[in-house]
Amino acid sequence: MMGPEEILLAEPRGFCAGVDRAIEIVERALAKFGRPIYVRHEIVHNTFVVDDLKSKGAIFIEDLADVPPGATLVFSAHGVSKAVQREADARGFHVFDATCPLVTKVHVEVAKLAKEGYEFIMIGHKGHPEVEGTMGQLDHGIHLVEDVADVANVHPAQTEKLAVVTQTTLSTDDAAEITAAVKRRFPTIRQPKQQDICYATQNRQDAVKLMTQVVDVLIVVGSPTSSNSNRLAELSRKLGVPAYMVDNPSELRAEWLEGKQRVGLTAGASAPEVLVQDVVARVKALGAVSVRKMDGIQETVKFPLPKGLKL
Ligand code: 2E6
Ligand code: F3S
């Protein structure tokens, strides 16, 4: 059976501005305050990133009860609920908030409209920390729908003031379909001026769409917990191209590439480029001779660091 001949790299792929910033916050906190630095939840959903920061002195916890008094604490890029924020304040931790500014934007919108009397339909994945954080901006009046079927089962207290919000890393196609169902049930519902799905999610999914027209198989570098990475593999499969996720290059299996000439390679927004390059080396070792970058848009988004960590 023939092995791979060509590798096509998706553009854009890998780190987004929110992930860059979140990792930088932990690194700078370590440099400025010394180890340990406590981080609530994986700073981003990537095993390599988390292990690297652990080796530098970060301690990852889920429960604030595991943070000693007086410690420095970083909130992950996915954001936190008001309850978590309050608890951290009450315990007097020195907090740095690595919530992606595009997640914070959704939190701010929810808080603002809630003051005006709005209730919300949130489209997202139950149990995901971003969904917990966004829903936890309010103590009531925010109703989660995960799919079109859920839309029939939400029961807001009133329908005059309703707004829709979403998780930032959804499948753009699924979100459009669910939003359409929400609008059919609540025709006057208010939508955000600009969608909540972030630029990085949109761009990585657009790149995979283009790529599936020319590749025989897609490899996605990303951890199993990463929502945006999972959406890339899922999209490829939906478009008829087999896709596999690898958390690290050793997970790549030769049989996935048997009989596949062109191998597409992309990475979720939390997956480091070193892992992509290691996968390239492995696919080359299996026979690929050329590596080509797809054309794609160049991302220039950059977010400032929080006060107290700037150089
Ligand atoms: C924060 C918000 C959105 O699982 P998900 O895709 O949300 O998270 P990561 O850590 O894989 O990606 C970055 C991110 C952080 N996305
Ligand atoms: Fe932010 Fe989107 Fe990245 S919400 S952390 S820019 S995937």
Chain-centroid distance, C-alpha 286: 31
pLDDT of residue 25: 98
pLDDT of residue 1: 64
Domain ranges of the chain: 6-15+198-293, 17-100, 102-185
Q: Nearest CA to 65 among 40, 36, 29?
A: 40
Within this chain, domains 6-15+198-293 and 17-100 share the same CATH topology = no
Angle at the Cα of 64 from the Cα atoms of 225 and 121, rounded to 5 degrees: 55
Q: Which CATH number fits domain 17-100: 3.40.1410.10, 3.40.50.11270, 3.20.20.70, 3.40.50.2300?
A: 3.40.50.11270
Measured CA distances, 47 to 29, 34, 120, 254, 299 (Å): 20, 22, 33, 23, 24
Model confidence at 138: pLDDT above 80: yes
Q: Which two tokens stand for residue 251?
A: 């997970």
130 touches 110 (CB < 8 A): no
Closest CA to ligand 1's atom 12: 270
Q: Ligand 2 site: residues with CB under 6 angstroms? A: 16-19, 77, 100, 102-103, 168-169, 198, 200-201, 228, 269
Give the strand order in the sheet containing 37-40: 58-61, 37-40, 72-75, 94-97
The CA 260 to ligand 1 mean position distance, Å, reads 30
Closest CA to ligand 2's atom 6: 18
Residues 140-153 have pLDDT tens digits of 999 999 999 999 99
9 forms beta bridges with 265, 293
Query: Which of 13, 15, 19 to mutate for ligand 1's pocket (most ligand atoms within 8 Å of CB)?
Result: 19
Ligand 1: which atom is nearest the Cα of residue 16? 13
Model confidence at 260: pLDDT above 90: yes
Q: Is 117 exposed, middle or buried (0-12, 13-18, 19+ CB in 10 A)?
A: exposed
User: What mean pLDDT is predicted for residues 82-89?
Assistant: 98
Positive or negative torsion for Cα 147, 172, 14, 77: negative
Asked if 87 is an active-site residue, the reply is no
Residues 16-49 have pLDDT tens digits of 999 999 999 999 999 999 999 999 999 999 999 9
Residues 153-193 have pLDDT tens digits of 999 999 999 999 999 999 999 999 999 999 999 999 999 98
The CA 227 to ligand 2 mean position distance, Å, reads 11
pTM of the model: 0.98
**191 backbone φψ class: left, alpha, beta (φ>0; ψ -120 to 50):** beta
Is CATH 3.30.70.1280 correct for 6-15+198-293?
A: no
Q: Which two tokens stand for residue 135?
A: 């829903």
Residues in the chain: 311
pLDDT of residue 135: 98
d(CA 31, CA 44): 19
Instruction: Identify the nearest ligand to the CA of 76 by its number.
Output: 1
Which one from 109, 119, 130, 132 is the annotated catalytic residue?
Answer: 130
Residues 95-137 have pLDDT tens digits of 999 999 999 999 999 999 999 999 999 999 999 999 999 999 9
Is CATH 2.40.50.100 correct for 102-185?
A: no
> How would residue 310 be classed by pLDDT, with cut points 50, 70 and 90?
confident
